[in-house]
Amino acid sequence: MPELPEVQRAADSLAAQVLGATIAGLQALDWPRALDGAAPDWFAEAIRNRTISAVGRRAKWIVVTLDAGWWLAIHLRMSGRVSVVPATTAADRHTRWQLRLVDGRLIQFDDPRKFGRLRLLDAAGLAALDAAHGIEPLTPAFTVAALQAALAARARAIKPLLLDQQRIAGVGNIYADEALWRAAIHPRQRADQLDAPAWLRLHEALVAVLRAGIAHGGSTLRDYRDAYGQPGAHQHEFRAYGRAGLPCERCTTPIVRIVVAQRGTHLCPRCQPCPD
């Protein structure tokens, strides 16, 4: 599933192509549930002739700013892919919708698993989306103290807390495993038992792995592409995720895979000693 780095790259690559473009209409909608309950006719009418003035990201949502106080929010979920394609591009069997632009191009959404979503938000809707998510880890507000304020009081394992979008926005299974390996913290370590140096290491590790993910164009395990159709390369930089049986790059102990809060979890049993 795309996480913060992948969604950021998708948003940036979309922005580079469509800023200033005007939407002509919605077409090729083969999966109306992608609209999250909005009536397709209403949706198509509401977005027509709106101009795209910005494309950003909030948590794992791509947020497209339109004129007149409207926003489009796109969630890639498991397998979604947004791209900008020529007008002549035909929808294929995984295409869930296309936004036709006045200049003739299409913003196309392909999604084999069909979990992706497209919402049209007014200011209140945007505020609700914002309020549903925690602090953004690549903003100046994300200090060590802010990380501790979000998580440290909890008598729960650190990994599921990192995945809780209401606490920290954008971190998913891959980058949580990578950050905990880098910080040498066991994923089952209780947050309320982490010491001050560990919080410092975890903060540094989260920022580092997310920035590295963005720098490498995100991670592509299977479906992820940016809005130019390019896969990421950060999957070649993993130190823990998906590396069960391979030597830890710090200590050569084989990486192991365990399950923490129902999620496959990868760690070095020597660098990240079990808290029990």
State how far the Cα of 135 lies from the Cα of 166, in Å rounded to an integer: 8
Size of the site for Zn ion (CB under 5 A): 7
Looking at 58, 60, 167, 243, which residue is catalytic? 60
Asked if 60 is an active-site residue, the reply is: yes
Candidates 23-31, 37-45, 159-167, 247-255: pick the segment binding Zn ion (CB under 5 A). Answer: 247-255
Give the burial string for 175-198 (b: 16+ CB within 10 Å, else e). bbbbbbbbbbbbbbbebeebeeeb
Among 157, 162, 185, 248, the residue binding Zn ion under the rule CB under 5 A is 248
Asked if 263 is an active-site residue, the reply is: yes
**E strand or H helix at 161, and its extent?**
helix 158-163
Q: Return the closest-CA partner of residue 166 out of 192, 139, 134, 195.
A: 134
User: What is the distance between the terminal CA atoms of the chain, rounded to a whole angstrom?
Assistant: 30
Q: What is the CA radius of gyration of the chain?
A: 20
Q: Of all residues in this chain, which one has the CB nearest to Zn ion in the complex?
A: 248
Minimum separation from the CB atom of position 206 to Zn ion (A): 19
Of 94 and 182, the one with the shorter C-beta distance to Zn ion is 182
Of 54 and 251, the one with the shorter C-beta distance to Zn ion is 251
Asked if 275 is an active-site residue, the reply is: no
Asked if 178 is an active-site residue, the reply is: no
State how far the Cα of 145 lies from the Cα of 102, in Å rounded to an integer: 47
**According to the binding rule CB under 5 A, does residue 250 interact with Zn ion?**
yes
**According to the binding rule CB under 5 A, does residue 255 interact with Zn ion?**
no
**According to the binding rule CB under 5 A, does residue 270 interact with Zn ion?**
yes
**According to the binding rule CB under 5 A, does residue 33 interact with Zn ion?**
no
User: What token pair was written down for 233?
Assistant: 């390369």
Of 229 and 254, the one with the shorter C-beta distance to Zn ion is 254
CA angle 169, 228, 231 (to 5 degrees): 65
Residues 6+ apart with CB under 8 A from 199: 144, 147, 148, 152
Of 119 and 182, the one with the shorter C-beta distance to Zn ion is 182
Minimum separation from the CB atom of position 266 to Zn ion (A): 12
Among 16, 123, 145, 251, the residue binding Zn ion under the rule CB under 5 A is 251
Residues making contact with Zn ion (CB under 5 A): 248, 250-251, 253, 268, 270-271
Q: Catalogue the active-site residues.
A: 2-3, 60, 263
